[in-house]
Structure 1
Amino acid sequence: MSSELSMTEKMLPASSFTSTSIRPSYYIREPNFGKYDNIEDITVVWLDSHSNVSLDCFDMKIRLRYLINHLLTFHSISTCLEYMNSDIEYEKVFFIVSGSDSEIILPEIHLSPKIHFNYIFCNDKEKYENLSQTYSKIRGIFNDKDSLLKNVTQKSLRDLSNESARFMWFQMLIEILIKMEHTDEAKSDLIEICRKQYKNDLVQSKRIDEFEKTYTADKAASWYTRDSFVYRLLNKALRTENIDIIYKFRSFIADLHQQLSVLQSTEPISTDEFLYRGQKLPIEELQYLQKNINGYLSMNTFVSFSRSSQAALLFAGKGEDRPQLESVLFQTEVNDGLAIFANIENVSYYKDEGEFLFTIGSVFRIADIEHIGNIIWVITLVIDTNANEDVEKLSKYLKKYYTGECSLLKIAEILFQIGEYDRAEHYCKLCNEQLHVDHQDRCRLNLLFGDIFRAGKGDFQAAEQFYVSALKLAQDSSLRASVLAGLGRLEDETGKYEAALTHLTESFDLNLKEHPNTTNEIVAKVYADIALVYRHKLDFTKSLEYYNQSLEINLQLLPDLHPSLANLYNNIAYLNTVLGKYDEAMKSYETSLKIQLKSLPKTHPDIATVYNNMAILHECNHDSQLAMEMFCKSLELFSAVLPSDHPTIATLYHNIGTSFHEIKNYPKAITHLEKALDLRKKILPLTHLHIAESYESLAYSYYGVYDYQKTLDFCNMALEIDPTRAALHECIGETRSKQHDYDGALVAFRKAIDLCNPLMMKDNRLLARIHFSMAQVLLTQEKLDEALECYKTVSLVPLSYADQDTLAVANMHLADIYTYKKQFRLAIESYKKCLDYNSECVPQVEMYNNLAANYFEVGQEEADEEYYRKALEIRKKILNVFPLDDQDLGITYSIIGTIYYKLNEYDLCLEHKEKARDHLLKNVSMNNDILTNICESIASFYELRGEMEKAIENGELLLKLQMDKFDSENPKNLDILANLCNNLGSLYHQVQNIEKAIECVEQAVTFERIAKISNPELYDNNFEILQSQVITCGNLAALYEEAEATEKQIIMLNRCLEIYSKLVLHSQQKTDLALASMAEIFKMLGGCYSKLDDHHMAFKSYQQALYFFIQLGSNNETMSNEYKENLENAKMKMNNKS
Structure 2
Amino acid sequence: MWKHIQLIVYRIIDIGEFLKNEFRDCVVLSFTDQKLCLDYVNSVHKAETIFLVLSFMDVKEILNIIHRLRQVDSVFIYSSEQQYKQYEDLLDKYSKIIDTFHQYTDLVHSIQENIDLSFQQLQSFRFYEQHQKSTRDLCKEAGSFLWLRIFKDVVLNLPHDEKAKKEMIETLRVCYRNNRCQLRLIERFNREYQSEHAILWYTGQPFLYKQLNRALRTEDINFLYTFRYFIYDLTKQLEQEYQKQREDCDFIIKLYRGVRLSIKEVNKLETSVSKLLSTNGYVSTSLSKQVALDFLGSSNDNKEEENVLFEIEYDFGKIKSIIVASTAHLSKHRNEEEFLFDLDAVFHLQSITRDLSSNVILVKMTAVDEGTKITNEYIEEHRRFMSRGSVVILFGYLLADIGQYEKAQHYFDCLLENPNGEDVSFIHYHLGVIKYYQGDYEAALNYYQKSYDRLIEDIPSRKGALSFVLNDIGSTFKARGQYDIALDFFLYALKISETYSNYYIIANIFGNMGNIYRIKGDYDRALSCQMKCLHIREKYQPSFHKDIAKALNNIAVIYNDKDDLDNALEYHQRSLKMNEQCLPAEHENIASSLIHVGNVLSNQGKFNDALDHYIRALQIRQIIFPNGHP
**Does the 8 Å contact 1:168/1:395 carry over to 2?**
no
> What amino acid is aligned across from residue 438 of structure 2 in structure 1?
K
Could you list the per-position Cα deviations for residues 27-61 of structure 1 after superposition, in whole angstroms to 9, with x for gaps in the alignment?
A: xxxxxxxxxxxxxxxxxxxxxxxxxxx99996656
The alpha carbon displacement at 1:171 in A equals 2.7
Give, in whole Å, the separation in 2 of the partners of 1:471 and 1:433. 19
1:219 aligns with 2:197: yes
1:160 aligns with 2:141: no
Could you list the per-position Cα deviations for residues 596-618 of structure 1 after superposition, in whole angstroms to 9, with x for gaps in the alignment?
A: 96599x9xxxx6x9978977877
Give, in whole Å, the separation in 2 of the partners of 1:545 and 1:610. 25
The alpha carbon displacement at 1:170 in A equals 4.3
Which SS does the other structure have where 2:329 is aligned?
coil
2:472 is matched with 486
2:459 is matched with 476
1:545 is matched with 528
> What amino acid is aligned across from residue 276 of structure 2 in structure 1?
Y
2:135 is matched with none
The alpha carbon displacement at 1:399 in A equals 6.9
Could you list the per-position Cα deviations for residues 243-264 of structure 1 after superposition, in whole angstroms to 9, with x for gaps in the alignment?
A: 2222222222222222222221
Give, in whole Å, the separation in 2 of the partners of 1:387 and 1:448. 26
1:452 aligns with 2:438: no
Which of 512, 515, 518 is 1:535 aligned to?
518
> What amino acid is aligned across from residue 307 of structure 1 in structure 2?
L
Which SS does the other structure have where 1:273 is aligned?
strand
Give, in whole Å, the separation in 2 of the partners of 1:529 and 1:271. 55
Give, in whole Å, the separation in 1 of the partners of 2:154 and 2:580. 28
**Does the 8 Å contact 2:308/2:360 carry over to 1?**
yes
> What amino acid is aligned across from residue 188 of structure 2 in structure 1?
E
**Does the 8 Å contact 1:298/1:363 carry over to 2?**
yes
Which SS does the other structure have where 2:315 is aligned?
coil
**Does the 8 Å contact 2:353/2:363 carry over to 1?**
yes
Q: Write out aligned runs for 1:510-521 (5 A).
A: 510-515=496-501, 520-521=503-504
Flag the 1:520–1:370 CA change in 2: closer, same or farther, 3 A.
same
> What amino acid is aligned across from residue 439 of structure 2 in structure 1?
G
Flag the 1:252–1:266 CA change in 2: closer, same or farther, 3 A.
same
1:283 is matched with 263
1:442 is matched with 424
Which of 356, 363, 370 is 1:379 aligned to?
363
Give, in whole Å, the separation in 2 of the partners of 1:226 and 1:470. 47
**Does the 8 Å contact 2:286/2:338 carry over to 1?**
yes
**Does the 8 Å contact 1:278/1:313 carry over to 2?**
yes
1:499 is matched with 485
Flag the 1:318–1:261 CA change in 2: closer, same or farther, 3 A.
same
Which SS does the other structure have where 1:366 is aligned?
strand
**Does the 8 Å contact 1:191/1:212 carry over to 2?**
yes
Could you list the per-position Cα deviations for residues 690-721 of structure 1 after superposition, in whole angstroms to 9, with x for gaps in the alignment?
A: xxxxxxxxxxxxxxxxxxxxxxxxxxxxxxxx
Which SS does the other structure have where 2:281 is aligned?
coil
Flag the 1:278–1:196 CA change in 2: closer, same or farther, 3 A.
same
Which SS does the other structure have where 1:498 is aligned?
helix
1:980 is matched with none
Give, in whole Å, the separation in 1 of the partners of 2:503 and 2:327. 47
**Does the 8 Å contact 1:413/1:448 carry over to 2?**
yes
Q: Write out aligned runs for 1:235-246 (5 A).
A: 235-246=213-224
Flag the 1:288–1:463 CA change in 2: closer, same or farther, 3 A.
closer
1:200 is matched with 178
**Does the 8 Å contact 2:352/2:362 carry over to 1?**
yes
Q: Using structure 1 for the length normalisation, give the TM-score.
A: 0.38
> What amino acid is aligned across from residue 374 of structure 1 in structure 2?
S
2:311 is matched with 331
**Does the 8 Å contact 1:397/1:559 carry over to 2?**
no
The alpha carbon displacement at 1:562 in A equals 5.9
The alpha carbon displacement at 1:492 in A equals 2.6
Q: Write out aligned runs for 1:603-682 (5 A).
A: 621=602
Which of 247, 254, 275 is 1:295 aligned to?
275
Could you list the per-position Cα deviations for residues 1021-1066 of structure 1 after superposition, in whole angstroms to 9, with x for gaps in the alignment?
A: xxxxxxxxxxxxxxxxxxxxxxxxxxxxxxxxxxxxxxxxxxxxxx
Give, in whole Å, the separation in 2 of the partners of 1:476 and 1:213. 50
Which of 228, 237, 242 is 1:264 aligned to?
242
**Does the 8 Å contact 1:297/1:363 carry over to 2?**
yes
Q: Using structure 2 for the length normalisation, give the TM-score.
A: 0.65
- Single out whichever of 303-312 and 579-588 deviates more from structure 2: 579-588
RMSD of aligned alpha carbons: 4.4
The alpha carbon displacement at 1:231 in A equals 1.7
1:465 aligns with 2:446: yes
Structure with more strand by fraction? 2
Flag the 1:584–1:208 CA change in 2: closer, same or farther, 3 A.
farther
**Does the 8 Å contact 2:125/2:277 carry over to 1?**
yes
1:687 is matched with none
The alpha carbon displacement at 1:308 in A equals 1.7
The alpha carbon displacement at 1:496 in A equals 3.4
Give, in whole Å, the separation in 1 of the partners of 2:403 and 2:504. 21
Give, in whole Å, the separation in 1 of the partners of 2:278 and 2:181. 33
The alpha carbon displacement at 1:356 in A equals 0.9
**Does the 8 Å contact 1:561/1:598 carry over to 2?**
no
Flag the 1:398–1:227 CA change in 2: closer, same or farther, 3 A.
same
> What amino acid is aligned across from residue 277 of structure 1 in structure 2?
R
Which SS does the other structure have where 1:277 is aligned?
strand
> What amino acid is aligned across from residue 173 of structure 1 in structure 2?
F
Flag the 1:287–1:611 CA change in 2: closer, same or farther, 3 A.
closer
**Does the 8 Å contact 2:471/2:490 carry over to 1?**
yes
**Does the 8 Å contact 1:179/1:254 carry over to 2?**
no
**Does the 8 Å contact 1:160/1:387 carry over to 2?**
no
**Does the 8 Å contact 2:510/2:533 carry over to 1?**
yes
Which of 246, 253, 261 is 1:273 aligned to?
253
Flag the 1:502–1:181 CA change in 2: closer, same or farther, 3 A.
same
Give, in whole Å, the separation in 2 of the partners of 1:481 and 1:382. 45
1:305 aligns with 2:285: yes
Could you list the per-position Cα deviations for residues 813-860 of structure 1 after superposition, in whole angstroms to 9, with x for gaps in the alignment?
A: xxxxxxxxxxxxxxxxxxxxxxxxxxxxxxxxxxxxxxxxxxxxxxxx
Give, in whole Å, the separation in 2 of the partners of 1:528 and 1:196. 50
Could you list the per-position Cα deviations for residues 124-170 of structure 1 after superposition, in whole angstroms to 9, with x for gaps in the alignment?
A: xxxxxxxxxxxxxxxxxxxxxxxxxxxxx986223333944431344
**Does the 8 Å contact 1:276/1:330 carry over to 2?**
yes
Q: How many residues align?
A: 486
1:522 is matched with 505
**Does the 8 Å contact 1:428/1:449 carry over to 2?**
yes
> What amino acid is aligned across from residue 370 of structure 2 in structure 1?
N
Give, in whole Å, the separation in 1 of the partners of 2:553 and 2:225. 34
Give, in whole Å, the separation in 1 of the partners of 2:48 and 2:412. 33
The alpha carbon displacement at 1:408 in A equals 4.9
Flag the 1:591–1:220 CA change in 2: closer, same or farther, 3 A.
farther
The alpha carbon displacement at 1:427 in A equals 2.4
Structure with more helix by fraction? 1
* Bigger Cα Rg: 1
